[in-house]
Amino acid sequence: MSVRRVMGTEVEYGISVQGAPTANPMVASSQVVNAYASATVRARRARWDFEEESPLRDARGFDMSRQVADPSQLTDEDLGLANVILTNGARLYVDHAHPEYSTPEVVSPLDIVRWDKAGEQVMLDAARLAQNLPGNPSIVLYKNNTDNKGASYGAHENYLMRRSTAFVDIVRHLTPFFVSRQVICGAGRVGKGQDGREQGYQISQRADFFEVEVGLETTLKRPIINTRDEPHADPEKYRRLHVIIGDANLSEIATYLKVGTTALVLAMIEDKFIAADLTVDTPVASLRAVSHDPTLKQTVTMTDGRKLTGVQLQMEYLDLARKYVEDRLGADADEQTLDVLARWEDVLNRLESDPMSLADQLDWVAKLKLLEQYRSRDGLAWDDAKLQLIDYQYSDVRPEKGLYHRLVKAGRIQRLLNDDEVERAMTEPPEQTRAYFRGRCLEKYAAHVAAASWDSVIFDLPGRESLQRVPTMDPLRGSKAHVGGLIDASDTAEALVAALSR
């Protein structure tokens, strides 16, 4: 009924080895992850437990056979690539040719921001630590989604939903929302088309890489609604909605609104609150058209014949969400839900009246403002390499080089958190979910944790021949309230496992 829900993000970072453009990105990614693991993970390193993973299960109710699957879809086979669990409950690993950080499970949009930003700092530290490896590779990481030469890599969101919600309702009500939400959470891109061959600026990094409306794939024929159904929880009760259409945001407010507004729309879908039909004709083409017009005048055609801009379509959802929160929560609405609604409204109003006034809040506007300043000072055309460089370097995770970081430092971009809060989240888990149990076990009993995953922690105890698997199938159990006292009181892993099995 609110913005609160079990959720998380997973971000693949762009990677380059300075002075060695042909370096193997899988090797470089492994170096980054392993360097961080060696420096921070004490004693033995717990392996990722793949037992419960099923990346080929489809929300529409069938399994894709392994024979027809593209090899890039097989994420559950331990390819021997680096893969580590952190004491904050997050997963740091190599996915294909990129280092990736998945946040621990959290229950609020602000906590998404907290652990997502902590991921940037983990990546920053990891790349710095990798410089000490033999050969001293100078690896730089970018929180973006495309090289503007045809390749794209993802920034995914995950939302736990009630299994009883019909998938067709999710597709119907979420597609127009996803076509339009980029006006808030787009990260901005110099170049149009997958390989960037067309000149100009567009709102989203990812829009040009989406080719179908609904589907299972994430690496080819990318769908607006992804049907991967791997709940990492009781499948009778839950599904995990795997959202692949977002951009990687640097702006805290953009991430906060991306996740907060999406959570509200999902709540309305679950409660069957949306009676209106906001279906958009040709969603894939509309998605791109909206992205390609940073003046925000581009309209999309609704099935009912109306023509709305992306901002106006978002206002339809905002109106619904306001009524929904008023109807279901009234005066009991929580602070973050009200804050998301207020910010959502303010941002949409500004996008209508004076978009450039959001240069201190939204990534695509901040980047555009900087680009326009360079264009006007230096007389640059849109195909000038310097503008492309600014686009890439905006997302450089290094505080001394990243242009986002320079703008923050100059007081030109607002934040929601301070450095200390983000730094704490690099090592401390969220307290409201099973990530607390996972993170605390890694922090306190690292020597005896053989493996862990979203839904289990596996102990290797002295004197016990078989491994002891503690399932954590319910994302809301294993919280501090459930196990905080128990972990505090258990000096050893044996004591903890004994107490858990009593």
Least Å distance between CB 22 and other proteins?
Answer: 8
Matching residue, tokens 């808030």: 184
Nearest-10 Cα torsion for 450, 454, 455, 460: 10
Residue type, 199: Q
In angstroms, the CA 265 to CA 70 distance is 32
Nearer to other proteins, 412 or 415 (CB): 412
Nearer to other proteins, 347 or 403 (CB): 403
Active-site entry in 63, 76, 95, 383: 95
Helices (H), 181-309: 182-185, 252-270, 283-291
Q: If you write DSSP's letter for every residue of 325-370 in order, what string do you get?
A: HHHHTGGG--HHHHHHHHHHHHHHHHHHH-GGGGTTT-HHHHHHHH
Nearer to other proteins, 167 or 394 (CB): 394
Residues that bind other proteins (CB under 8 A): 12, 14-16, 21, 25, 72, 95-98, 100, 146-149, 151-154, 156, 201, 218-219, 222, 244, 294-295, 354-356, 368, 370, 372-374, 377, 384-386, 388-390, 392-393, 400-401, 403, 406-407, 410, 412
Instruction: Give the list of residues 6+ apart from residue 183 with CB closer than 8 angstroms, or none.
Output: 203, 290, 296, 310, 311, 314, 351
Closest CA to 108 of 387, 437, 425: 425
Give least dist CB 319 to other proteins, A.
24
Closer residue to other proteins in complex, CB, 88/226: 226
- If the CB atoms of residues 146 and 175 are measured against other proteins, the closer one turns out to be 146
* Closest distance of CB 299 from other proteins, Å: 16
Q: Taking the complex as a whole, how short is the minimal distance between the CB of residue 421 and other proteins, in angstroms?
A: 26
Structure tokens at 471: 């399932």
| 407 contact partners, CB below 8 Å, separation of at least 6 | 366, 370, 413
Find all residues with CB under 8 Å of 327, minimum gap 6, and list them. Answer: 273
Rounded Cα–Cα distance for residues 264 and 318 (Å): 9
Q: Rounded distance, CA 411 to CA 313, Å?
A: 32
CB of 150 to other proteins, least distance (A): 8
Q: Which of 147, 296, 289 is nearest to 210 (CA)?
A: 289
The answer to whether 57 touches 9, Cβ cutoff 8 Å, is no
Shortest CB 224 distance to other proteins, Å = 14
Token code pair at residue 186: 């787009």
In the three-class reduction of DSSP (H, G, I as helix; E, B as strand; rest coil), residue 215 is classed as strand
Of 210 and 273, the one with the shorter C-beta distance to other proteins is 210
User: CB-wise, 205 or 262, nearer to other proteins?
Assistant: 205
* Cα angle 322-328-332, degrees, rounded to a multiple of 5: 90
Nearer to other proteins, 151 or 214 (CB): 151
DSSP 3-state of 214: strand
Q: Quick check: 416 and 456 in contact, CB under 8 A?
A: no
- For the bound state, the minimum distance from the C-beta of residue 74 to other proteins, rounded and expressed in Å, comes to 13
- Give the side-chain half-sphere CA count within 13 A for 376: 5
95 is catalytic: yes
Residues 130 and 32 sit within 8 Å (Cβ to Cβ): yes
Q: Do 484 and 476 meet the contact criterion of CB atoms below 8 Å apart? A: no
Crossing angle of the two packed helices 335-353 and 310-328, in degrees rounded to 10: 160
Q: CB of 43: closest distance to other proteins in angstroms?
A: 31
In this complex, which beta carbon is closest to other proteins, that of residue 60 or of residue 401?
Answer: 401
Sign of torsion over alpha carbons 337, 250, 184, 412:
positive
Q: Which residues pair with 161 in a beta bridge?
A: 239
- In angstroms, give the least distance from the CB of 342 to other proteins: 24
Least separation in angstroms between residue 414's CB and other proteins is 16
The span from the CA of 502 to the CA of 73, in Å, is: 41
> Hey, which residues are catalytic here?
95
